[in-house]
Amino acid sequence: MAGQGVACALAVAMFIGSLVSIPTAVRSIGVCNGILGNNLPSPADVVKLYQSNGIAAMRIYSPHAATLRALAGTDIAVIVDEPAIDQFLTLSAASDWVQSNIKPYQGVNIRYIAVGNEVSGDATRSILPAMENLTKALSAAGFGKIKVSTAVKMDVLGTSSPPSGGEFSDAAVMAPIAKFLASNGSPLLANVYPYFAYKGGDVDLNFALFQPTTATVADDGRTYSNMFAAMVDAMYSALEKAGEPGVAVVVSESGWPSAGGSGASADNARRYNQGLIDHVGMGTPKRAGAMEAYIFAMFNENQKDGDETERHYGLFNPDKSPAYPIKFRIS
């Protein structure tokens, strides 16, 4: 999720409402689709909303059968999470999972499978064997083009500032994962939230919101004008220190709440998400060029746990009206 409990090439050209015509060239932003609400549209209506707004990628947090059925026959690229990584701890179990959750949906454009989302504690040591088993099971079943990864949050880094100092807090866990990703051509999925850094520390609001600011960061010959880029490059620095500089970072979640807490407002959410859309085509100071990123989230979800902000990350309200205006465009 958005936040410390949940944690999408950029692949979306999403609009909001009928504010603007979306150029087909905009394929950089995806949108995460959570289902923790008792008033959300049906999966079929959600897919139609993605299509009508030109949203080309979706992340889902489990192999939700109704959503996968609704996605069949569309060109929407999908990240499928499996939070229960113990389902992959034997090759037989991983094969059974593929037969139940991937094979029936061959008409779905599944791009990545995330083995766990923000796994912590001792369970992190099960991520690598789970990914290895799932990769073997997918290949054996004829789905070898689907890439396997895991989604991490920023506290996987022991050091994140300055960006060049980024380093994994537990290299014994993350370095072998990075090696696996490199050998399989898979990206590292990272949930990146400048909002939490702003909320929890002395961070300039404009720096967090992609707005003009004098609070820039100079580091290693590069200048950072926004916190998002600094956070992503800290993750790249950690991969470099782990010996795998070629592994790409896909931002599997990023967003800003529109209500419910410090700095949470519709205007700030609009500024952040518009800034993200406008920024990702440029990449970061360390990795220039288009990125792949997913906005959290499609809807405000009224049954999410945690802080009140957790229920206010949606680009859309449950009635499918936009929560605030966003323009998806090439900038």
Per-residue pLDDT of 297-306, as tens digits, reads 999 999 999 9
Q: In the annotation, is 118 catalytic?
A: yes
Angle at 151 between CA 253 and CA 84, to 5 degrees: 120
- Catalytic-role residue among 118, 132, 301, 310: 118
Q: Would you say residue 264 lies in a domain?
A: yes
Q: In the annotation, is 292 catalytic?
A: no
- Catalytic-role residue among 167, 253, 292, 301: 253
Q: Would you say residue 238 lies in a domain?
A: no
Question: How far is Cα 206 from Cα 228, in angstroms, rounded to an integer?
Answer: 12
Q: Would you say residue 230 lies in a domain?
A: no
| DSSP at 289 | S
The series of mean pLDDT values per 10 residues for the chain, 331 residues long, is 40 34 48 98 97 91 98 97 97 98 98 98 98 98 98 98 98 98 98 96 95 97 98 98 98 98 98 94 94 97 98 98 80 40
pLDDT at 28: 63
CATH number of the domain that residue 272 is part of? 3.20.20.80
Q: Would you say residue 331 lies in a domain?
A: no
Extract the tokens encoding 198. Answer: 């702003």
pLDDT at 29: 87
Instruction: Name the E strands within 68-212.
Output: 77-82, 109-117, 147-153, 157-159, 167-168, 188-191
pLDDT at 1: 56
The tally of domains found in the chain comes to 1
What are the tens digits of pLDDT across the range 13-62? 333 333 332 333 334 689 999 999 999 999 999 999 999 888 889 999 99
Owning domain of residue 182:
30-155+167-193+249-316
Q: Which residues of 60-82 are buried (b: 16+ CB within 10 A; e: fewer)?
A: bbebbeebbbbbeebebbbbbbb
Q: Would you say residue 204 lies in a domain?
A: no
Strand, coil or helix: what is 115?
strand
Of 102, 93, 55, residue with least CA distance to 77: 55
pLDDT at 55: 87
Q: Would you say residue 300 lies in a domain?
A: yes
Q: Would you say residue 146 lies in a domain?
A: yes
Q: Would you say residue 14 lies in a domain?
A: no
